[in-house]
Amino acid sequence: MASVWSSPERPAYPHQALAVVLQVRSARLHAMLWQRPNEPFAGAWALPGGPLLPEETLGASVARQLAAKVEVAHLGHLEQLETRSDPGRDPRGRTVATAYLGLIPSHLDVVLPEDTAWHPVDALPTTAFDHGSIVLSALGRLRAKLSYTNLGFALAPPSFTIAELRDVYVAALGYDVTATNLQRVLLRRGVLEPTGELAPPGRAGGRPPALYRFVSPELEVTDPFAVFRPPTSR
């Protein structure tokens, strides 16, 4: 008698856990991808991830998969993004995939395996399966949450000048924001606080800028109706 888990009413499909790991590097937002050595999509770039084991939760699975590429402790934030179930997404047969969004603060220079590299999200290489589309979904989630939460803490270093934080937000959002407006908005929401210290003086001289930090390293909704918008052209 066939098992109920593989019956027509309850078919068993392989399930994968994938991770879209993003970091601001050299003033551009990058995604971590690895190059597939085998078919299908040999030579194409893919998201870190792999099969969900029988006794494993999705969270444990994605942590295990990521540990093969990067130290999980480097992640400033990790959250479930979406599940993809298109029957044709894998040419080998139907596979369901649940993707996670992970963020690494910009000051960390993590060591990656030889088959893995950072790629700018605005210039992705050829990707395997539907992984390029999943990166775009992660980008949309990140940009939305930068508007109404304090998620910038997971992209920024522990302390920063407002100008440095602006560079992080510009890279993540993909459009310009002024340092003055960013400071005004985030201070009004209680997201930032001064450290009481100044940045080292620059070559141009002048008064060193103040250093700030995020008040909380945990995700919080700070303004549910807020939206950062790109500047309007005139």
Rounded CA separation 166/144 (Å): 16
- Give the range among 89-98, 149-158, 205-214 with minimum mean pLDDT: 205-214
- Position 194 in a domain: no
Give me the domain span that covers residue 78: 11-138
Going by the DSSP 8-state scheme, the letter that residue 148 receives in this structure is H
CA dihedral 70, 74, 79, 81 (to 10 degrees): -40
- Position 42 in a domain: yes
- Position 20 in a domain: yes
Residue 3: pLDDT band with limits 50, 70, 90:
very low
**How confident is the model over 177-198, as pLDDT tens digits?**
999 999 999 999 999 999 999 9
- Position 129 in a domain: yes
Say if residues 12 and 54 touch (Cβ distance below 8 Å): no
Q: Strands 45-46, 28-35: parallel, antiparallel or unpaired by DSSP?
A: antiparallel
**Can you name the residues that pair with 120 across neighbouring β-strands?**
30
- What lies within 8 Å, CB to CB, of 193 at 6+ separation is 212, 213, 214, 215
Specify the number of domains making up the chain: 1
CATH number, domain containing residue 109: 3.90.79.10
- For the beta carbon of residue 44, count every other beta carbon within 10 angstroms: 17
pLDDT of residue 230: 83
Instruction: For residue 46, give the 3-state DSSP assignment.
Output: strand
